[in-house]
């Protein structure tokens, strides 16, 4: 087990939660990492710093920057644009119907973003990955698979850094587009906090499950990225948000 804690001098530092995070993985027989940056207290924690620096396929967490690129290039006009279902029955039932940007992100409708990738094209995809400084900024010959086949890769630490720039509207894209992407990421909200998040699952030579995002509070945001190895498929993949929410509760980011 590797834990890493960084705190700003003079800040009141909450108790280190990383031992509890290790137990969340150990109890499920999983090998994973968690990075949390709590700007309310100017403190960050990492469980398994080595894995946190290791790059993996982003899978559907790439829908966050991909949505931004699509809006910036005019491939997607707004959150109301309809992507017409082609009639092909796919394994995930919620994909089998027309989609909007909001539903495609929420349901992780792969076919919508494959259509987007083909419309953007490889040259513009590569150019924008570099502009956004996203992971290794590499794509494969398959423009509609590069975020799934392992050619594009990003670490948990890099995910958090990217999300921090999006939160602050610091990415090289229109302010309106950054705000819209953040809007479609909303997963849960209460009177005094908002959870924005995206999950992902890369199934291949190295199966990895992701859950990334942040919780907004009046005092500041709590950013997070977790990933773990998935040796047994969907039953373990479904535990992403369960583990993630337990992590967020451990630092009082959500009730």
- Residues designated catalytic: 60
Q: Are 247 and 24 in contact (CB under 8 A)?
A: yes
Rounded distance, CA 255 to CA 246, Å? 10
Residue where the block lists tokens 């040259």: 123
In our burial notation (b when 16+ CB lie closer than 10 A, e otherwise), range 20-47 reads ebbebbeeeebebbbbbbbbbbbbbbbb
Identify whether the C-beta of residue 195 lies closer than 8 Å to the C-beta of residue 213. Answer: yes
**CA–CA dist 25, 34 (Å, integer):** 10
Rounded Cα gap, residues 121 and 99, in angstroms: 21
Is the torsion defined by CA of 148, 152, 156, 158 positive or negative?
negative
Best CA proximity match to 122, nearest among 148, 142, 151, 137: 142
SS3 sequence of 180-238: HHHHHCEEEECCCCEEEEEEEEECCCCCEEEEEEEEEECCEEEEEEEEEECCCCHHHHC
Element (H, E) at 70: helix 63-73
């Amino acid at each position: 087990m590797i834990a890493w804690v960084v705190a700003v001098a003079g800040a009141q530092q909450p108790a280190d939660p990383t031992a509890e995070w290790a137990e969340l993985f150990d109890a499920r027989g999983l090998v994973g990492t968690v990075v949390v940056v709590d700007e309310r207290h100017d403190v960050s924690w990492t469980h398994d710093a080595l894995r946190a620096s290791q790059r993996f396929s982003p899978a559907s967490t790439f829908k966050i920057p991909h949505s931004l690129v699509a809006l910036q290039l005019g491939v997607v006009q707004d959150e109301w644009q309809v992507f017409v279902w082609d009639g092909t029955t796919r394994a995930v039932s919620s994909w089998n119907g027309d989609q909007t940007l909001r539903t495609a992100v929420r349901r992780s409708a792969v076919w919508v973003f494959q259509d987007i990738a083909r419309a953007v094209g490889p040259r513009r995809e590569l150019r924008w990955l570099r502009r956004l400084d996203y992971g290794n900024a590499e794509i494969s010959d398959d423009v509609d698979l590069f975020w799934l086949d392992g050619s594009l890769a990003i670490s948990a630490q890099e995910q958090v850094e990217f999300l921090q720039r999006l939160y602050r509207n610091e990415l090289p894209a229109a302010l309106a587009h950054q705000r819209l992407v953040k809007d479609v990421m909303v997963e849960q909200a209460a009177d005094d906090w908002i959870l924005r998040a995206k999950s992902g699952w890369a199934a291949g030579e190295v199966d990895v499950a992701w859950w990334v995002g942040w919780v907004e509070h009046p005092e500041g945001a709590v950013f997070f990225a977790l990933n773990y190895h998935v040796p047994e498929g969907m039953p373990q993949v479904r535990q992403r948000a369960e583990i993630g929410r337990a992590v967020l509760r451990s630092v009082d980011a959500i009730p």
